[in-house]
Amino acid sequence: MAANMRGLTQFIADIRGARVRELEEKRINKEMANIRKKFKAWCSCHAADGNLDGYQKKKYVAKIIFTYILGYKVDVGHMEAVNLISSSKYSEKQIGYLAVTLLMHENSDFLRLVVNSIRKDLDENNEVSNCLALHAIANVGSSEMAEALSEDVHRLLISPTSQTFVKKKAALTLLRLYRKHPTVIPAAEWALRLVSIMDDQDLGVVICVTSLIMALAQDHLDAYAVCYTKAVDRLHRLVIEGEYSATYAYYKVPSPWLQVKLLRLLQYYSPSEDATLRSVLHEVLQTIMNNSAEPSRNVQHNNAQHAVLFEAISLAIHLDASSPLVGTSAVLLARFISSKETNVRYLGLDTMAHLAARADSLEPLKKHQGTIILSLRDKDISVRRRALDLLYSMCDTDNSELIVGELLRYLKVADYALREEMVLKIAILTEKYANSYKWYVDTILQLISAAGDHVGDEVWYRVVQIVTNTEDLQEYAAKVVFEHLKSPSTHESLVKVGGYILGEYGHLIANDAGYSPLEQFQVLHSKSQFCVASTRSLLLSTYIKWVNVFPEIKPQLINIFERYRHVLDAELQQRACEFYSLASRPDDDEVLQNVCEEMPPFPPRVSALIGRLNRKLGDTEDKRTWIHGGKEMNLERHANSRKATLGPGSSATGTTTVTGNTDAQDVMSSLAGLNLSSPGEQSDPSRVDSSVVAPRVAVGPSVEKWFNKLIYSTDGVLYEDVQIQIGVKSRYQGHLGQLAIYLGNKISVPLTSFTSTIHVNDSEALSATFAKIPPNLLVPRTQSQQLLHVECKKAFSSFPILTVSFLAGAHQSVSIRLPISVTKFIEGVKLGQADFFERWKVIGGPPREAQAVFPITLDGTGQLDLVRYRQVVSGNHLEILGDVDPNPNNLVAAGVLHTSVDGKVGCLLRLEPNREAKLCRLTVRSTSEDVAAEVLRLIEKLLRLDSS
Amino acid sequence: MIHAVLIFNTSGIPRLTKFYTPLHQSSQTLIQKIFSLISIRPAGLCNFLDAPELEAFLGPKDGSDERWRVVYRNYATLYFVFVVDGAESELGILDLIQVFVEGLDRHFENVCELDLVFHFDEAHHILAEIIQGGLVLETNGDEISNSGL
């Protein structure tokens, strides 16, 4: 296009021809002045349709864009760009949009002017206009636009008539709007509909939608839980089935971007409990690892393969850090960190740091400690940085002295850009993994003297805190700091530490040779002249403390106060005056003693160092799934973030505030902000999750009838409407059962994005999982069968809920209860009369007996409907005992409930219908009161049904 | 997320600049900064670079491990540079650069620096088909070149 605008080509050629920067600037200024004049003329006679036609506007705006790309600031042309957008000519519209996306940013005032044009283009029945508009929103969308346009964008994304390229753009645009203004997007409400697009035929659409879902799911884990299955299924199809169009293979690797995204998405969820999903996922990860076993010669192919591999390893670590897969990964990583390729070394170290952050045992990594330490001297700073992170993560009490020593040695030659961070990390490691206080003090003081300028105030504050709170340490610390101060050049931070520690604890060493009060004073005061005012005032405080404990040097000290009374600095002067008069009081005065009381221990608090390292996480940005540091740090952070997403309601369970342990032995760890009580709360949030969202169940008279029938029979229809039919066939043995669910498509178009999920209220009592991931397509007028495995672990009282959703034009979803009751896991037992009554008596009355009296109807002839009663009771898997009760109308039955966790539970039943009163008495006795109540409830409901 | 896509030549003159995050300072100084970081790195070093220096331009990253990362690749006289955050896979971005270059190559039939100069709008349109709002939109070469350019 640029080629057919002569003026523009000329302009570009001129600029290229400019030999020096000044000429280039001159040419640009001339052009801008010209354009400004033209636009001004155009504005003034705008009413008369101006003398500037679309072509000219386009040309000038194009010149402005070119100037902008060269890095010059441009301040004209915004209005004209806005104008071009509403042009009917594509080329003009396109340049207009390009200018808007390049020249404006989200806070630009001009954007208000384009909202309406953009909306018009979104609503237009022309995909090209739709795309231009979407692209503009995705680049400059603000929260204002989110309010105005998110509905339109969402419509383009889900509309069945949208072309794939519109859908792709719409998905990413929606993501942009969500990031700008999360509250306008009803994320939870749209969840199922959006997740269903992950089944799209077109991989391009899938990539975009996965990006969107990844962002939404991080904030709404539960609402988007379905995407877990979808992601696993998609990976399976890509990696194992090889089901993708050839154009999406990048150097023979099926869309590495999508694979990476999916693998990353799975890391936001805690590992699935579902056995089927787990095994499929395992297979996928295994295949990915095998695929990259032999490196190929093509660079691009290798890159793509490694991209997927590294993410797969991260996922494997996330799923279970001690699985054999992770063992394999560790071997691979070990190979990578000594690879010849710098990229591979870099990523190998990065991923190894993830492993170190999660693994239970660091042993496999320690084998490579030597290589990693060598990487600190790699020729590439990027690699050096990763090695530093890794060493930080893999440090523990066993290797702390080695690693910290190595880091200290490296600190002296490290890049300036790295030093500050290194200092922080060394300080944290030293504190956290110190084996002895002595080592701690030695190392920290060495650190301060080696890297003075890079030591933040937090570091020396921390030393003071720890020394003050640890009595055993004080004498030693005083000696060491004194030795450090003796060296001719000392850093100011060290002077501060020295001032504080000698002031407080100098008297502890004053009797040893070489540490006399006078020597202490001379050493410390000799540094004073090189220090800034704040340090000097700290030293003055030290001196007043000494006045109290070292009367022998009082004259010298008073002399100093005397001199400082005349300095210009207000703070110093005030201190000097106050201290002077305090020191000049008579010797028996107690004020001085009281003022100079020894410092009490600091209250235990979170280390400011870690706080500085871990700043707050952003709101809608993609979060990291792990941080550098040991396992506990990750656990703690995880607990914190879970708490944050669960909201204030759960704060009662969290005890992340630091435990108030002031025991001197424990000072180290409690000060470091470690929370040892965190493992207990790990299991908590996950349990809250599963009960949060129970889908709304479909109701209707026939649904109720079908459902009740299935409670006492093995197969039948569960649900039916104009589009689908759901039927069930079931088989139970002991505590296990298998349901075949038949899903029938009754209409003549395929149902796509078919998703079925099972929601179990109490997953500790009942588990229900599909034998394999259900297919996502239902061909017209056919039926598909899905096997569901159920296991009864304990007695339960609520039914699992099956939710199926699909696209048939619009997105629909149906939730129905599955007829899986606790009685399905009962097996009947034959008992004689004597046996029965003996057990009946042993169990006894309430609470292990449940009883109800309720009305029943009679059959057509006015008789008791005994056949039906028998059907219901035996349908609930209880064995009817013929010769126990003398009254032939009464029913007596017995059975044993099988559960895998709680074992077997006996259950006896007696049903006494009365024809005259049209009432019936039902009694259930069981060794478990829960079971008795539940069996009674189920059977009563079925029998009472007739009367209602 | 991808925060910026830059192409500049070996003398540091920008040929394509696209920011997906508002800048705190002039883009020229940012490009010079990145150029000074990259141009001193000899071939054979890795294609990734942590760049805490960029905080001044793009704002601080939250979280300790969140850092601006620069992923770059050198083709003849041009540097292709992506500025990304921790949510992107480094190698994935490297692959994406390759896709971008192949896309340009296909469109301009053996792309050279001059094509980017005289057809800057087309280069932007191709980029727009690959990345939108800082996220990967399309990676399929056919789709990219078919999208109405």
CA atoms within 13 A on the CB side of B65: 21
Eight-state DSSP code of residue A239: I
Eight-state DSSP code of residue A104: -
Contact residues on chain A for B65, CB-CB shorter than 8 A? 389, 624, 627-628
As given in the structure block, the two tokens for residue A601 are 């221990």
Contact residues on chain A for B17, CB-CB shorter than 8 A? 69, 71
The answer to whether the CB atoms of B16 and A173 lie below 8 A apart is no
The answer to whether the CB atoms of B140 and A203 lie below 8 A apart is yes
- Assess B113–A contact: CB distance below 8 Å, yes or no: no
Give the residue with greater pLDDT, A645 vs A72. Answer: A72
The answer to whether the CB atoms of A257 and B147 lie below 8 A apart is no
3-state class (DSSP) for residue A788: strand
Can you give the CATH number for the domain in which B122 is found? 3.30.450.60
Radius of gyration of chain A (CA): 38
Helix axes A203-219, A164-180, angle to 10 degrees: 20
pLDDT above 80 (res A644)? no
pLDDT above 70 (res A653)? no
The answer to whether the CB atoms of A250 and B99 lie below 8 A apart is yes
Eight-state DSSP code of residue A248: G
Contact residues on chain A for B27, CB-CB shorter than 8 A? 71
Provide the residue type at A773 as one letter: I
Helices and strands (H and E) in chain B: how many: 6, 7
Provide the residue type at A768 as one letter: A
What is the pLDDT, as a whole number, of residue B35? 92
Between CA A941 and CA A823 the distance in angstroms is 13
Question: Residues with Cβ < 8 Å from A852, sequence gap 6 or more?
Answer: A921, A922, A936, A940
Work out the percent of chain A whose per-residue pLDDT is above 90. Answer: 7
What is the pLDDT, as a whole number, of residue A210? 93
pLDDT in tens, A621-639: 556 667 776 666 666 666 6
User: How far is CA A496 from its chain centroid?
Assistant: 41
Q: Read off the pLDDT band of A676 (50, 70, 90).
A: very low
Within 10 angstroms of residue A485's Cβ, the number of other Cβ atoms is: 21
Range with the largest mean pLDDT of A648-662, A678-692, B27-41: B27-41
The answer to whether the CB atoms of A16 and B117 lie below 8 A apart is yes
As given in the structure block, the two tokens for residue A141 are 């969308």
Question: Residues with Cβ < 8 Å from B20, sequence gap 6 or more?
Answer: A139, B1, B2, B3, B4, B5, B131, B133, B134
Contact residues on chain A for B13, CB-CB shorter than 8 A? 70
- Assess B112–A contact: CB distance below 8 Å, yes or no: no
User: What is the DSSP annotation of A389-451?
Assistant: HHHHHT--TTTHHHHHHHHHHHHTTS-HHHHHHHHHHHHHHHHHT-S-HHHHHHHHHHHHHHS
Work out the percent of chain B whose per-residue pLDDT is above 90. Answer: 17
Average pLDDT of the residues in A50-78:
82
Average pLDDT, chain A: 81
Average pLDDT of the residues in A792-803:
87
Residues belonging to chain A: 948
What is the pLDDT, as a whole number, of residue A212? 92
Average pLDDT of the residues in A224-228:
89
Q: Which range (A437-441, A448-452, A711-715, A773-777) has the least confidence?
A: A448-452
Nearest residue on chain B to A343, alpha-carbon basis: B46
C-alpha angle with apex A755: A751 to A758, nearest 5 degrees?
Answer: 140
User: What is the DSSP annotation of B78-133?
Assistant: EEEEEEE-TTS-HHHHHHHHHHHHHHHHHHHTS--HHHHHHTHHHHHHHHHHHEET
In the numeric block, the tokens 């010298």 are attached to: A556
In the numeric block, the tokens 């020894």 are attached to: A598
Question: What are the C-alpha distances in Å from A218 to residues A35, A222, A810?
Answer: 48, 9, 26
Contact residues on chain A for B121, CB-CB shorter than 8 A? 1-2, 62, 65, 94-95, 98
What is the pLDDT, as a whole number, of residue A106? 76
As given in the structure block, the two tokens for residue A547 are 């006045």
The answer to whether the CB atoms of A3 and B120 lie below 8 A apart is no
pLDDT in tens, A547-574: 888 888 888 888 888 888 888 888 888 8
When CB atoms are compared, the residue of A98, A141, A165 closest to B121 is A98
Average pLDDT of the residues in A899-920:
86
User: How far is CA A288 from its chain centroid?
Assistant: 24
Strands A801-808 and A752-759, sheet pairing? antiparallel
Cis peptide before A847 (omega within 30 of 0): yes
- Assess B50–A contact: CB distance below 8 Å, yes or no: yes
In sequence order, the β-bridge partners of residue B84 are: B2, B69
SS (H, E, C) A253-284: EECHHHHHHHHHHHCCCCCCCCHHHHHHHHHH
Q: Distance from B87 to chain A by nearest Cα, in Å? A: 6
User: What is the DSSP annotation of A596-631?
Assistant: TPPPPPPPP---HHHHHHSPPPPSSSPPPS--SS-H
Between CA A63 and CA A35 the distance in angstroms is 9
Torsion of Cα atoms, A275 then A280 then A284 then A287, to 10° = 100
pLDDT above 70 (res B63)? no
pLDDT above 50 (res A839)? yes
- Assess B45–A contact: CB distance below 8 Å, yes or no: yes
Contact residues on chain A for B97, CB-CB shorter than 8 A? none
Between CA A845 and CA A929 the distance in angstroms is 10
What is the pLDDT, as a whole number, of residue B61? 58
When CB atoms are compared, the residue of A169, A260, A303 closest to B132 is A169
pLDDT in tens, A581-631: 888 877 777 777 777 777 777 776 666 666 666 544 344 555 666 777 666
In A529-569, alpha helices (H):
533-549, 554-564
Identify whether the C-beta of residue A444 lies closer than 8 Å to the C-beta of residue A461. no
User: What is the DSSP annotation of A178-205?
Assistant: HHH-GGGS-HHHHHHHHHHGGG-S-HHH
Between CA A348 and CA A325 the distance in angstroms is 16
What is the pLDDT, as a whole number, of residue A265? 92
Task: Identify which of B143, B135, B29 has the alpha carbon closest to the alpha carbon of residue B87.
Answer: B135
The answer to whether the CB atoms of A346 and B28 lie below 8 A apart is no
Between CA A931 and CA A912 the distance in angstroms is 20
Between CA A206 and CA A168 the distance in angstroms is 8
Burial A408-430 (b: 16+ CB within 10 A, else e): bebbeebeeebbebbbbbbbbbb
Q: Which range (A194-198, A296-300, B130-134) has the least confidence?
A: A296-300
- Assess B20–A contact: CB distance below 8 Å, yes or no: yes
DSSP E strand stretches across A682-723: 715-720
pLDDT above 60 (res B65)? no
pLDDT above 70 (res A687)? no
Between CA A897 and CA A925 the distance in angstroms is 13
Provide the residue type at A158 as one letter: I
Eight-state DSSP code of residue A666: G
Task: Identify which of A852, A821, A881 has the alpha carbon closest to the alpha carbon of residue A947.
Answer: A852
Helix/strand/coil percent split, chain B, to 5? 40, 25, 35
C-alpha angle with apex A233: A228 to A234, nearest 5 degrees?
Answer: 100
- The pair phi, psi for residue A754, each rounded to 5°, is -70, 125
> How many domains are there within chain B?
1
Contact residues on chain A for B135, CB-CB shorter than 8 A? 172, 175, 208, 211
Contact residues on chain B for A70, CB-CB shorter than 8 A? 13-14
Q: Read off the pLDDT band of A45 (50, 70, 90).
A: low
Between CA A320 and CA A311 the distance in angstroms is 14
The answer to whether the CB atoms of A69 and B120 lie below 8 A apart is yes
The answer to whether the CB atoms of B139 and A248 lie below 8 A apart is yes
The answer to whether the CB atoms of B95 and A304 lie below 8 A apart is yes
Burial B60-81 (b: 16+ CB within 10 A, else e): ebbbbbbbbbbbbbeeeebbbb
Between CA A911 and CA A924 the distance in angstroms is 9
Contact residues on chain A for B134, CB-CB shorter than 8 A? 176
CA atoms within 13 A on the CB side of B99: 33
Provide the residue type at A733 as one letter: Q
Average pLDDT of the residues in A99-122:
85
When CB atoms are compared, the residue of B64, B85, B141 closest to A627 is B64
Average pLDDT of the residues in A284-305:
85
- Secondary structure element (H or E) that encloses residue A87, with its range: none
Question: What are the C-alpha distances in Å from A405 to residues A183, A392, A411, A444, A471?
Answer: 50, 12, 10, 11, 26
Between CA B43 and CA A848 the distance in angstroms is 80
What is the pLDDT, as a whole number, of residue A372? 87
Size of interface A-B (CB pairs under 8 A): 190
Q: Read off the pLDDT band of A44 (50, 70, 90).
A: low
Nearest residue on chain A to B134, alpha-carbon basis: A139
The answer to whether the CB atoms of B94 and A256 lie below 8 A apart is no
As given in the structure block, the two tokens for residue A715 are 């197969």
The answer to whether the CB atoms of A139 and B90 lie below 8 A apart is no
pLDDT above 80 (res A256)? yes
In the numeric block, the tokens 């999750």 are attached to: A689
The answer to whether the CB atoms of A627 and B20 lie below 8 A apart is no
Domain span at residue B30? 2-145
- Assess B109–A contact: CB distance below 8 Å, yes or no: no
Nearest residue on chain A to B19, alpha-carbon basis: A102
pLDDT in tens, A423-473: 888 888 888 888 887 888 888 888 888 777 777 777 788 888 888 888 888
Q: Which range (A114-128, A433-447, B122-136) has the least confidence?
A: A433-447
The answer to whether the CB atoms of B120 and A1 lie below 8 A apart is no
End-to-end CA distance of chain B: 26
Q: Read off the pLDDT band of A658 (50, 70, 90).
A: very low
End-to-end CA distance of chain A: 78
When CB atoms are compared, the residue of B17, B48, B137 closest to A169 is B137
CA atoms within 13 A on the CB side of A754: 21
Question: What are the C-alpha distances in Å from A449 to residues A418, A445, A453, A847, B146?
Answer: 17, 6, 9, 75, 63
The answer to whether the CB atoms of B132 and A138 lie below 8 A apart is yes
Which ipTM score applies to this complex?
Answer: 0.83
Q: Which positions of A make up the binding site?
A: 6-7, 38, 55, 59-63
pLDDT in tens, A482-497: 888 888 777 888 888 8
Identify whether the C-beta of residue B130 lies closer than 8 Å to the C-beta of residue B93. no
Average pLDDT of the residues in B90-101:
90
Within 10 angstroms of residue A326's Cβ, the number of other Cβ atoms is: 22
Work out the percent of chain A whose per-residue pLDDT is above 70. Answer: 88
What is the pLDDT, as a whole number, of residue A312? 92
- Assess B101–A contact: CB distance below 8 Å, yes or no: no
Q: Which range (A332-336, A341-345, A447-451, A453-457) has the least confidence?
A: A453-457
What is the pLDDT, as a whole number, of residue A263? 94
Average pLDDT, chain B: 84
